Structure 1
Amino acid sequence: MKSSLRIRIHYTLRSLLVAALAAYIMHLNASDSLEYYLAPHMQTLLLLCPVPLLFIAFGMMWHSLAGDSGEVCDCEHPLPAGLVKNVTVYGLFTVPLLFGLLLPDQALGSDMAAKKGMIYTYPNPDVRRKTDDRNTSAFSGTDKRLPGMDQGAEENIALNERFVAKDIYSVEFAELAKRLYTLPVIKVEPDIFSETVGAMDMYKEHFQGKTISVQGFVFRDGHMNEDTFAVSRFLVMCCTADAVPFGVLVRGTNAASFANDTWVQIDGTIQVATLNGKETLQIQAKQIQPVEQPASPYIFTNPDSVAEFDQLYSNDNETKEEIN
C-alpha cells in the first residue's frame, strides 16, 4: 500500500505531459508545420490523436484530483522508484516536447544532405510502396492525348519504340517519359518531382537538349567545381527520419554566387554528365534566380504519377481556355 499523495502527483504529471503532447500536435497543425516532419498520408493519422489524448489527460487529472483519498493499492502497476527511473521515464516525454517548443520549425537543408549523402539517380523502386493494383491504375490516362502535340498513329509508335519499359517497376516511368518528352518546356512539378526526374534519368539519352525548369535548394560539397551545384529536394516517404536528399546537377556561369540552402529556380537544358563513373542528368543553366522557399519544401512519392500528370496539364489547358 502506498500513500495516495504520491500517486496523485504522478497522475498530475502524466496528465500534463499528455495534454502538452496533444497541444503540440494542434500547434503544428495550426502553424502548417506538420510538413516539416511527416508525409501527408501520415499527417492524417497524427491528427486523429489530439482528441483521444485530451480525454486521457482529463481522465488522469480527474483521478488525481477527485480520486479516493484513502490508501490505494498500487501493487499491479508500480510507480517508478528512485530519482533516476523517474527522470528517465518522464524525460522520454518531456525532452522531445522541449525540443519541439524551443527549437524553430524548419526544413532539412544542405547540412543534413551532406550527412545522408546526396542521391543523383532515382532511389530503389521499393521506396515507392507500390502494389500491383497501383501499377495497373497508374495508367488510366494512357489513351489521353499527350500534351503539346497533335498525336497521330506514327507519333505514338515512335514514342512507344523510344520509351520501352525495362521491367515492371519502369512501366509507369516509360508512360510518364512519353508525356514529358512532348512538352516544349519540362516543368518539374512538386507533386511528381521524383517521378519526373526518375523518368528523365531512366531515358536520359532521349532527353538531352530538352528545356527544363525546376526549383530546389542549393547543395554543394567540397568535390564540386565553383560553377556546379545540385538543385535539391528531400524525398520523404513517411517522416523526416527516412528523408532522402535527391538532386540534379546544375552547371552555370553564375552558380558560384549562390550559397548552400538558397532556394533557386533553374531554367536550362538537359545534358548527361559523368559523376563517380556513372552517367547522370545535368542541367546547363541559362538562368538561375533566387526564389522563396515553398510552403511544402519536401517532395513525396506519388502512387499514380501518370494520372497526376494528366490532371495537372488538364487543369492548365482548362485555365488557358478560360483566359482565351
Structure 2
Amino acid sequence: MEQTNDLSFQKFIRGIILVGFTLLLFKLILSGNITNFIAPRMLPFVYFATGIFLIMGILQIWRSDSKKDLDIFCDCGLDHNQKSSPIKSLIIYCLFLFPIFTGFLFPDVILDSSVVAKRGINLASANASVEQKQASSNGGNEAVSEATDSTTSDSSQPKSLDELYLEGLLNSDKIEVTDAEYSKIISSVETNLDKFVGKEIELTGFVYREPDYQLDQFAVSRFTVSCCVADVQVMGTLATGEIAKQLKNDEWVKVTGIIEKGERNGQTLPSIQIKNLEKIEAPSDPYIYIY
C-alpha cells in the first residue's frame, strides 16, 4: 500500500510540473513576451507543445488517483517494489520546478550590452564571408569573373533579383534600414562598400562601445535571432561624430549619416559619419529575425 501511495504521489507531482510548464507558456504567449526568447516562426511549435503539456499533465493527475494494480505492477519479471530515496526524488523534481517558479517570479529581461561584452560584436560579417569564399575558390574566381563579364556585356541578359535589389538601394536618395530588411541591407553595403561610399543611410539600434573605441565612436548595434536567444548574434555598424561622446551603452538611437570606409583590426568595413542623431525608446520587439 505504501508503494502504491508513493507512485500515485509521483504521478501527481509529474502532472503538476507539466501543468506548471503549460501555465508558464500561456503567460508568455498572452503577454507577447514569448518573442523575447524565440523567433516568431517557432511559435507554432510552442503552441503545439503547450497543448501537449496540458493534455499530459491532466492525464498524469487523473491517473495518480487510480487504484488499479495494473497501473502499478506488470508481468515483466522485474521487482518494482524498491523504494526510491526521498531526497533523490526531491532534487530531481526541484530541477523541473525551479524554471517554473523563476519564470513566474522574475520579470522578462531583454538582452543588453552585457551580453555583447561576452559574445563580441560582428562589424563585418559579410566582408568576412566574402573573403573566405575568395580564399577557398582561388582559380575558380577567374572563371566566375569571365562568366560575369560575358553576362554583363550582353544587355539582353535578364538581371537577377539580387542585382535589381542592389540597384534599387544605389538609386535611392536615402537608404532606410528597416527591421525586416536589416540583414540584407547591411550585407549589401558591406559587400559593395565602394559603391555605397557617399550614400546617405538611416538606421536604428542600441549604443555599444568596445573598450578601445574612440570617444566619438560607437557601434549602432542589433541582436539577430535565427531560432531562439541561444543562437543570438550581434551585428553592428560603426558610427562617428562629436555627439557620440554624450551617449551611453544601451541607449537606443536613430542615426542618419553618410557611409564612409572605416577600418578595424586591419579590415575595411562600413562607417557612418553622423549628420543627425535622435535618442528613441527601445522598440517593443528589439530583435532582428533571420530566416
TM-score by length of 1: 0.74
1:56-91 CA distance string (max 9 Å, x none): 1111111113x0166932758899822453244323
Among 171, 177, 180, the alignment partner of 2:169 is 180
CA contact (8 A) 1:228 1:252 kept: yes
Cα 1:300–1:212 shift into 2, 3 Å: same
Cα 1:110–1:258 shift into 2, 3 Å: same
CA contact (8 A) 2:3 2:83 kept: no
CA contact (8 A) 1:218 1:229 kept: yes
Identity %: 27
Q: Secondary structure at the match of 1:229?
A: strand
Q: Work out whether 1:281 is the aligned partner of 2:280.
A: no
Cα 1:282–1:83 shift into 2, 3 Å: farther
CA contact (8 A) 2:255 2:277 kept: yes
- The aligned counterpart of 2:234 is 245
CA contact (8 A) 1:122 1:197 kept: no
CA displacement at 1:217 relative to structure 2: 0.8
Q: Work out whether 1:68 is the aligned partner of 2:57.
A: no
CA contact (8 A) 1:192 1:301 kept: no
User: Using the alignment, how far apart are the partners of 2:230 and 2:103 within structure 1?
Assistant: 15
Q: Secondary structure at the match of 1:48?
A: helix
- The aligned counterpart of 1:58 is 58
CA displacement at 1:211 relative to structure 2: 0.7
User: Using the alignment, how far apart are the partners of 1:84 and 1:212 within structure 2?
Assistant: 61
CA displacement at 1:96 relative to structure 2: 2.0
Cα 1:276–1:174 shift into 2, 3 Å: farther
Q: Secondary structure at the match of 2:207?
A: strand
Q: Post-superposition, which runs of at least 4 consecutive aligned residues in structure 1 deviate over 6 A?
A: 76-80
Provide structure 1 residue ranges, at least 5 long, that are not aligned to the other structure: 126-156, 166-170, 303-324
- The aligned counterpart of 1:256 is 245
Q: Work out whether 1:202 is the aligned partner of 2:205.
A: no
Structure 1 segment 264-275 matched on structure 2, within 5 A: 264-275=253-264
CA displacement at 1:109 relative to structure 2: 1.1
- The aligned counterpart of 1:7 is 7
Among 101, 105, 113, the alignment partner of 1:110 is 113
1:37-73 CA distance string (max 9 Å, x none): 10111122112221221111111111113x0166932
User: Using the alignment, how far apart are the partners of 1:198 and 1:287 within structure 2?
Assistant: 23
- The aligned counterpart of 2:26 is 26
- Count of residue correspondences: 260
User: Using the alignment, how far apart are the partners of 2:266 and 2:83 within structure 1?
Assistant: 57
CA contact (8 A) 1:173 1:195 kept: no
User: Using the alignment, how far apart are the partners of 1:78 and 1:31 within structure 2?
Assistant: 46
Counterpart of 2:210 in structure 1: which amino acid? D
1:107-166 CA distance string (max 9 Å, x none): 2111101111100123687xxxxxxxxxxxxxxxxxxxxxxxxxxxxxxx79x9xxxx9x
CA contact (8 A) 2:197 2:261 kept: yes
Counterpart of 2:256 in structure 1: which amino acid? D
Provide structure 2 residue ranges, at least 5 long, that are not aligned to the other structure: 130-151
CA displacement at 1:293 relative to structure 2: 1.2
User: Using the alignment, how far apart are the partners of 2:97 and 2:112 within structure 1?
Assistant: 26
Q: Quote the RMSD (CA, aligned, Å).
A: 2.6
CA contact (8 A) 1:122 1:194 kept: no
Structure 1 segment 89-100 matched on structure 2, within 5 A: 89-100=92-103
Counterpart of 2:196 in structure 1: which amino acid? F
Among 275, 282, 289, the alignment partner of 1:293 is 282
Q: Secondary structure at the match of 1:57?
A: helix
Q: Work out whether 1:226 is the aligned partner of 2:254.
A: no
Cα 1:277–1:173 shift into 2, 3 Å: farther
Structure of higher RCO (CA pairs closer than 8 Å, 6+ residues apart): 1
Cα 1:263–1:80 shift into 2, 3 Å: farther
Q: Secondary structure at the match of 2:172?
A: coil
- The aligned counterpart of 1:310 is none
Cα 1:57–1:38 shift into 2, 3 Å: same
- The aligned counterpart of 2:45 is 45
Cα 1:34–1:282 shift into 2, 3 Å: same
CA contact (8 A) 2:255 2:274 kept: yes
